[in-house]
């Protein structure tokens, strides 16, 4: 089976109308997908991948993918599978494109979409959900597909193999038993910053009834209002449920240290992205000032090298990898392996478009063959799930294990036709 074409579509949903996704810095999100379709000479097999953006700039990701096509068009899929590690290095270290990266920003988001589509195609050919394909392949073969460039001072392939092989010893003899896993999640859906107090309270009550026990809310526009909202939510959820806050990078290091003093009274499980996502030493200063609190970050950590420093320096307590910001499985698994080595819990970022569908696979891979930590939790923020053929399913506050072949982000044809930013009926 040969790859014949790679198609990209700029898909945008007008979510800013409902204040969906609003936080301290992103006040008008139109949830968007850079949507990639890898076509083959067999009509039954296409690879679907995406990255998530919030509107303007989605076109730039689409454009970047045009430059990656040459690495797979005309190639046999089994050849792509064998050379996946090499293709990843070629794309992310492209001799000219690297100047507008390297391995960060638009080109890296684009690489995420491109490789997400390749992993989708490969796992579909094996007729397995992506998580299962990864668990089933030989460790050595898997490691050859991943990138350890610039991180072997912290984790070597040999150490990675030891971690995975040791974890694999605990797998059940019948792997199908894992299909009944429910992976615990927390919800962000009640606490968007643009929501009124009444809307937020109604959503918290509704989500409590649905069985959620962990709630995250957005803070960061005004500390007095943050205190007011935290008080409202804490009163509603009681002292046994967990509350987290996310200020989406808006504070300086010093402001964070000061505001944590005022928010501590609400027993916050973690403070997410308090300050600039590149500030490895700043995060550490916050932790040194408040040794009793926990920091979480990762959705905007741009590559595995920055993750390496955050984890090794103990600048974060919870590692929030994003499925579409760093460049797919090839880069995500090495970060999970570093986290495992340092016994750092991983709580993947989700929401947006397709992120929940992606993390349901990453959670299982991490749980079953990578992590040494025993905290299992993942974000869930229901948004636009109605546009997916097979959206992530939640039961009793946890992700139901996906069993369909592939990596789960196929958007319905009708939604593509309506919300394509270039020629969709909605935008026309």
- Residues within the interface to Mg ion (CB under 5 A): 246, 272
CB of 299 to Mg ion, least distance (A): 5
Strand pairing class (242-246; 214-218): parallel
Confirm if 215 and 270 have CB atoms less than 8 A apart.
no
CB of 188 to Mg ion, least distance (A): 8
Confirm if 113 and 49 have CB atoms less than 8 A apart.
yes
**Cβ distance to Mg ion smaller for residue 152 or 278:** 278
> Is residue 349 annotated as part of the catalytic site, yes or no?
yes
H or E stretch at 256 = helix 253-263
CB of 121 to Mg ion, least distance (A): 30
CB of 286 to Mg ion, least distance (A): 16
**Cβ distance to Mg ion smaller for residue 81 or 246:** 246
> In whole angstroms, what is the distance from residue 54 CA to residue 323 CA?
15
- String of b and e for 93-124 (b: at least 16 CB within 10 Å)? ebeebeeebebbbbbbbbbbbbbbbbbbbbbb
The two tokens of residue 142 are: 């898997």
The two tokens of residue 62 are: 């689409």
CB of 273 to Mg ion, least distance (A): 5
> In whole angstroms, what is the distance from residue 150 CA to residue 8 CA?
30
Cα 160 to Cα 88, 136, 137, 427: the distances in Å are 19, 16, 15, 47
**Cβ distance to Mg ion smaller for residue 246 or 279:** 246
**Cβ distance to Mg ion smaller for residue 2 or 26:** 26
CB of 73 to Mg ion, least distance (A): 36
The two tokens of residue 50 are: 């995406």
Q: Is the peptide bond before 102 cis (omega within 30 degrees of 0)?
A: yes
Residue 162 DSSP SS3:
helix
**Cβ distance to Mg ion smaller for residue 55 or 220:** 220
Q: Who's near 397: CB < 8 A, 6+ residues apart?
A: 184, 185, 186, 187, 210, 211, 212, 213, 214
**Cβ distance to Mg ion smaller for residue 154 or 384:** 384
66: exposed, middle or buried (Cβ count in 10 Å: 0-12, 13-18, 19+) = exposed
CB of 297 to Mg ion, least distance (A): 8
Instruction: List beta partners, residue 211.
Output: none
> Which of these is catalytic: 128, 218, 287, 304?
218
H or E stretch at 228 = helix 223-237
Measure the CA angle with vertex 202, ends 201 and 207; round to 5°: 100
CB of 392 to Mg ion, least distance (A): 18
SS in 3 state form for 327-379?
CCHHHHHHHHHHHHHCCCCECCCCCCCCHHHHHHHHHHHHHHHHCCCCCCCEE
**Cβ distance to Mg ion smaller for residue 143 or 263:** 263
**Cβ distance to Mg ion smaller for residue 183 or 192:** 192
User: DSSP secondary-structure letter at 384?
Assistant: S
> Which of these is catalytic: 124, 349, 387, 410?
349
Residues with active-site annotation: 218, 349
């Amino acid at each position: 089976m040969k790859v014949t074409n790679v198609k990209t579509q700029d898909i945008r949903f007008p979510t800013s109308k409902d204040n969906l996704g609003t936080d301290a810095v992103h006040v008008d999100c139109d949830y968007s997908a850079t949507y990639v379709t890898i076509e083959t000479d067999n009509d039954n097999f296409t690879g679907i991948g995406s990255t998530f953006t919030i509107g303007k700039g989605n076109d730039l990701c689409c454009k970047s993918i045009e430059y990656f096509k040459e690495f797979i068009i005309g190639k046999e899929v089994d050849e792509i599978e064998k050379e996946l590690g090499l293709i990843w290095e070629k794309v992310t270290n492209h001799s000219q494109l690297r100047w507008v990266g390297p391995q960060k920003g638009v080109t890296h988001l684009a690489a995420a979409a491109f490789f997400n589509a390749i992993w989708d195609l490969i796992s579909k050919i094996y007729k397995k959900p992506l998580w299962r394909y990864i668990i089933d392949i030989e460790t050595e073969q898997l490691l050859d597909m991943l990138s350890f460039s610039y991180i072997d001072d912290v984790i070597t392939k040999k150490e990675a193999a030891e971690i995975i092989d040791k974890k694999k010893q605990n797998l059940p003899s019948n792997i199908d038993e894992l299909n009944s896993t429910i992976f615990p999640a927390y919800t962000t859906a009640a606490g968007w910053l643009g929501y009124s107090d009444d809307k937020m309270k109604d959503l918290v009550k509704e989500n409590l009834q649905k069985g959620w026990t962990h709630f995250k809310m957005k803070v960061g526009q005004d500390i007095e209002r943050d205190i007011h909202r935290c008080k409202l939510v804490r009163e509603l959820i009681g002292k046994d449920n967990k509350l987290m806050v996310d200020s989406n990078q808006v504070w300086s290091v010093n402001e964070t240290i000061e505001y944590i003093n005022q928010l501590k009274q609400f027993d916050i499980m973690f403070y997410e992205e308090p300050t600039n996502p590149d500030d490895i030493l700043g995060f550490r200063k916050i932790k040194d000032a408040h040794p009793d609190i926990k920091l979480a970050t990762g959705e905007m950590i741009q590559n595995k090298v920055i993750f390496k420093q955050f984890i090794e320096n103990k600048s974060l307590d919870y590692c929030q990898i994003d499925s579409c910001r760093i460049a797919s499985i090839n880069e995500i698994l090495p970060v999970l392996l570093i986290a495992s080595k340092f016994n750092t819990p991983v709580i993947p970022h989700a929401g947006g478009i397709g992120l929940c569908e992606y993390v349901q696979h990453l959670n299982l891979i991490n749980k079953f063959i990578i992590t040494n930590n025993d905290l299992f939790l993942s974000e869930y923020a229901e948004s636009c799930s109605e546009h997916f053929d097979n959206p992530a399913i939640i039961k009793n506050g946890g992700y139901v294990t996906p069993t369909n072949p592939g990596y789960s982000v196929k958007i319905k044809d009708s939604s593509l036709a309506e919300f394509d930013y270039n020629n969709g009926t909605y935008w026309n």
